[in-house]
Amino acid sequence: MCQKSDKIQNPLGVEKVSTLLHRFALPSIVAMLVSSLYNIVDQFFIGRSVGALGNAATNICFPLSISCVAIALLFGIGGASAFNISMGKAQFVSAEKEKAVHFMGNALMMMLCCGIGLLLVTELFLEPLLLFFGSSQDILPYARVYTRIVALGFPLVIVAAGGGHLLRADGRPKLTMLCNLVGAVINTVLDALFVFGFHWGIAGAAAATVIGQAISGGMALYFLAHCKTVTLRLVHMRLRGVYVRYIMSLGAAPCSNQLAMMVVQIVMNKSLKYYGSMSVYGESVPIACVGIITKVNQVFMSFIIGISQGLQPIISFNYGAKQYLRVRSAYLRALCYGGILAVLAFLSFQLVPHQIISIFGDGSKEYFQFAESYFRIFLFFTFLNFLQPISSNFFTAIGKPKRGVFLSLTRQIIFLLPLLVILPLIMQIDGIMYAGPVADFMAAAASVIMVALEFRHSHYHKVVSE
């Protein structure tokens, strides 16, 4: 009888956990940072050339960008988790390896189909969507131009983002980083050329984004066609309900988190518009400020999400291979890294908010006043905001998607959304700002409780007999 140590040949099952986490998380962090640069770079060039209304327009379009990320996570993380769990089980049952390839192929095909569908819906119902997202009449012309162009890149941006998770599951995290890095560099260069050189304004920024995303998506497709651990063929991309359902169940948690963000963003835009019109700030200033600050906060969250994504293949494989001590060790180490980064972000948001917002252009006294208050109040519990994303992805990675979905919904839907409705009735626009820290604290508490209950199981505290 073969011993377990003989069966586990995959480095995910035998290498030091800290080494694996560094190897997988660092490229994931870079990939997420580069991805967030798409939005940051657009905000910079649009803010410097068009002004606050241009930045507000990108914030109106933001729910559609979140939709792309949601689809990418649904089938990217779902497919990657299913792939790695099956590859872990393949140490004991050889047939699992063929099943793993079908998970990867079905995930990729679903990304392409959903991306095309989102493109068609956006182009056909553009103006009603923008008005529904909270656009005012002075923002609408800019939002219309920007969104109509960036929508053309939806299929490939979904493949670039979701395909990166599949490449990571295949043991090639550096390629994920490369795809995103090349696209972001091209986007930045073309932004400068189109906006400042050709004076195309917000249309130039949108065109630069689409070109960069198309190149990233094309590279991801090429690398997926040449996998390292398996051979992906067209037959594996033939959709089958049993594979798609399992992928979606595992990707539901991160997808739900993004969809929750989209719902909150829409409610936020409408609330900012309504309560802003009743304040000294007006309709457009709060929307413009929150759009910039949300994208700045995404830079911090890129580190946290990158850590959680780098953690996923380690957790999934070792849970499938019944290496539970390695599962717990990897999770706790990821929390340590996330906590350090969260404290650094908290200090930045509290100490230098004016300097951060100034990067994206000038504004009125009210503009900077609102931006600084929003940084300091809404993001007060930034130092706790690493707990929920990492914990939610942990449950997805171990094949417990219902718990992951619940945890992913705690901050945005269960806590923040009701607070965004209730608190402004009492505190006007200030209520929007105070809704953030209350929701953050409650979501962090829920994460700690749920993971503590999971780790009470005995298999996390004993070595499996070899």
| pLDDT number for residue 458 | 65
* Rounded-to-integer distance, Cα 391 and Cα 397, Å: 10
Average pLDDT over residues 61-66: 88
Chain segment 74-100, per-residue pLDDT in tens: 999 899 989 988 988 887 787 888 999
pLDDT band at 287 (very low <50, low <70, confident <90, very high): confident
Q: Which residue has the higher pLDDT, 178 or 361?
A: 178
Residue 333 has pLDDT above 50, yes or no: yes
DSSP 164-175: HHHHHHTT-HHH
| pLDDT number for residue 353 | 93
Residue 44 has pLDDT above 50, yes or no: yes
Average pLDDT over residues 219-246: 94
Residue 399 has pLDDT above 70, yes or no: yes
Average pLDDT over residues 364-385: 93
| Radius of gyration for the alpha carbons in the chain, expressed in angstroms and rounded | 22
| pLDDT number for residue 294 | 86
The secondary structure element, H or E, covering residue 96 is helix 96-124
Residue 360 has pLDDT above 60, yes or no: yes
Could you tell me what percent of the chain has a pLDDT over 70? 96
Residue 304 near residue 338, CB atoms below 8 Å: yes
Residue 408 has pLDDT above 90, yes or no: no
If you average pLDDT over every residue of the chain, what do you get? Answer: 88
Residue 320 near residue 87, CB atoms below 8 Å: yes
Residue 293 near residue 371, CB atoms below 8 Å: yes
| pLDDT number for residue 67 | 93
| pLDDT number for residue 334 | 94
Find tokens 């410097």 and name the residue. Answer: 48
- pTM score > 0.75 for this model? no
Residue 370 near residue 285, CB atoms below 8 Å: yes
